[in-house]
Amino acid sequence: MDSETFDQFIDQLERYVRERLLPAEKEVIANDRVPEDILSEMKDMGLFGLTVPEDYGGAGLNTRQYAQVVRTIAYAAPAFRSIFSINVGMFNSAIKNGGTDEQKAEWWPRIAAGEVACFGLTEPGSGSDSAAMQTFAKPDPDGNGWILNGTKRYITNAPHADVGLIMARTEKDALPKNAHVSAFIVPMDTPGVSVGSADEKMGQAGSHVADVMLDDVHVPGDALLGGETGQGFRFAMQSLDNGRISVGAASTGYARRALDSALKYANERQAFGEPIANFQLIQQMLAESWTEIYAAEAMMADVTARVDRGEDTIKHAAAFKAFASEMCGRVVDRVVQIYGGAGYLAEYDAERFFRDARIYRIYEGTTQILQLQIAKRMLREYANM
């Protein structure tokens, strides 16, 4: 999308967030779901196909533009971003990086039209440790397809997903490294696929996570992403880079929302005959929060520019997600402190911001896993100097 058109879209999206999404937050929280009319509006706006090429019905946004959209949407309740983020941040990335022409022709228009995707990597006994993956895909003896068995855990959007990208072991051993994992495109209405009840969570009402069970699930040969076994982990990791940028952008947008709320409260709340915004230690917390958000925005601009230039950004995407998610945690903590006793009450937004933000430091790679990835990449680069 050209810059002028995109700027107009962002202006429109900011108005939509403030005039439509923010007023709907109470309904999302009360019913634990995004209202159907808003979901339809988001699909009509093209949010489910932001990064799908225009020739296939999408908006064709680059990574910089996509991250800006996520940051803008993330100013509102996290459920609004969550419902489309897997489509554009992970599923579409995997299709782009590893899909065959036939897979792109089939799935890109469907995703752009609003079909909901989920991403099945994590299992009860494995997350970042792919060697421990138990979900297995074996060749179908009656045809050229595959039979999948296993369980996936903590799968965002699973209760209402139309399609899942499922990682499964196709070899017993993990050598060469991660070559035992392949990726399969699995429609969620395929016989043998079942979804557990949505998990009760600390925060992020309206965003649903559940287990996905695969019991002798038969899929055709063309369900294998890229048509080649042993490439699933590579596709997953490339998709996670995009997903981590999305989480970093969401953390940045939500931190901005929390800070705006604290700024408003500090100017309205009176103590000792004046607004608490006049107190220097309150100002310190506001200033530190603004500075950290600014740093995250600068990181986002840098990493997305690198992605759009075609650079290897594993280290940069991990650093952005780690910093932005930890930053958001610090900001919402300060916001609760600025609210004082009111910040601990569910009646006020600060308490919700605090709960909602906690997951950003966990999914798409915990901060600790990302630190290991950054360090390993640094050491590898040093060894090759």
The domains of the chain are located at 3-112, 117-229, 234-383
- What values do phi and psi take at 89, rounded to 5? -95, -30
* Distance, CA of 346 to chain centre: 26
CA dist 123 and 212 (Å) reads 9
| 117-229: in CATH 3.40.50.720 | no
* Total residue length of the chain: 385
Q: Is the dihedral of CA 371, 297, 247, 313 positive or negative?
A: negative
Helix axes 78-86, 63-73, angle to 10 degrees: 150
Are the beta carbons of 114 and 48 closer than 8 angstroms? yes
User: Which residue is it, tokens 């910040």?
Assistant: 343
pLDDT at 28: 95
**For residue 186, what are the CA distances in angstroms to 94, 208, 210, 233, 292?**
13, 19, 16, 16, 41
Same fold, 3-112 and 117-229: no
Catalytic residues: 364
The share of the chain scoring above pLDDT 90, in percent, equals 79
pLDDT at 232: 74
CATH number, span 3-112: 1.10.540.10
How many Cβ atoms are within 10 Å of 9's Cβ, its own excluded?
Answer: 20
Residue 35: asked if its preceding bond is cis (omega within 30°), the reply is no
Q: Is the dihedral of CA 60, 62, 66, 69 positive or negative?
A: negative
Structure tokens at 369: 């896993």
Question: Burial level of 92, CB count in 10 A (0-12/13-18/19+)?
Answer: buried
How many Cβ atoms are within 10 Å of 233's Cβ, its own excluded?
Answer: 21
pLDDT at 131: 67
Query: Across 6-122, where does the E strand assignment appear?
Result: 117-120
- Which residue stretches of the chain have pLDDT < 50? none
Are the beta carbons of 333 and 257 closer than 8 angstroms? no
| Residue among 122, 147, 145, 146 nearest 134 (CA) | 122
CATH number, span 234-383: 1.20.140.10
Q: How are beta strands 270-271 and 209-219 bridged, if at all? A: unpaired
Give the long-range contacts of residues 34-37, CB within 8 A, separation 24 or more. 34/79, 34/80, 34/83, 34/206
Structure tokens at 196: 């557990």
Question: Burial level of 175, CB count in 10 A (0-12/13-18/19+)?
Answer: exposed
Query: Can you give the pTM of this predicted structure?
Result: 0.92
CA dist 191 and 196 (Å) reads 15
